[in-house]
Amino acid sequence: MNQVLIALGSNVEKERNVPAALALLRAQPAIAICAVSPLYETIPIGGDGNPSSQPAFHNGALLVETALSPAALHDLLRQIEAQLGRTRSADKFAARPIDLDIA
C-alpha cells in the first residue's frame, strides 16, 4: 500500500460537496482514509493574481492508503469530481463544486 496526499477544495455548494466527496472516497474499497485535515476558508485568486469575485473556497487535505497506481487514482478522483457535478473547462480559475488532486 502507498500513502498518498489528496488535496481537496470546493467553492460551489461547499457545505454539501466536501462531505459528499469524503463519503464517496470512504466508499471506495481501494482507498483507506488515514487522516483528514481541518478545512480552511480561502479567498479565490483570479488569473490576474488578484482576489476573484467567486465565493470563498473550503480547502483541506486527506492522507490515504491505496494500492492503486497514480493513473488509476487520478482517474478515480476525476470520476468522483464528475459525480459531484464538476465539468472541466479551459478556465483553470473557474468555480468548482469539488477539486480533488494528488498532491
Domain extent listing, the chain: 1-34+62-67+94-103
The candidate with the shortest Cα–Cα distance to 48, out of 92, 2, 12, 83, is 92
β-sheet bridge partners, residue 32: 65
Buried b (16+ CB within 10 A) or exposed e, 86-98: beeeeeeeeebbb
Q: Give residues with Cβ within 8 angstroms of 17, minimum separation 6.
A: 10, 84, 85, 97, 98
Contact residues for 91 (Cβ-Cβ < 8 A; gap 6+): none
pTM: 0.92
- The whole-number pLDDT of residue 41 equals 96
> What are the tens digits of pLDDT across the range 35-66?
999 999 999 988 888 888 899 999 999 999 99
Question: Which tens digit of pLDDT belongs to each residue from 62-94?
Answer: 999 999 999 999 999 999 999 999 998 888 888
Four-CA torsion 91, 89, 7, 53, nearest 10 degrees: 40
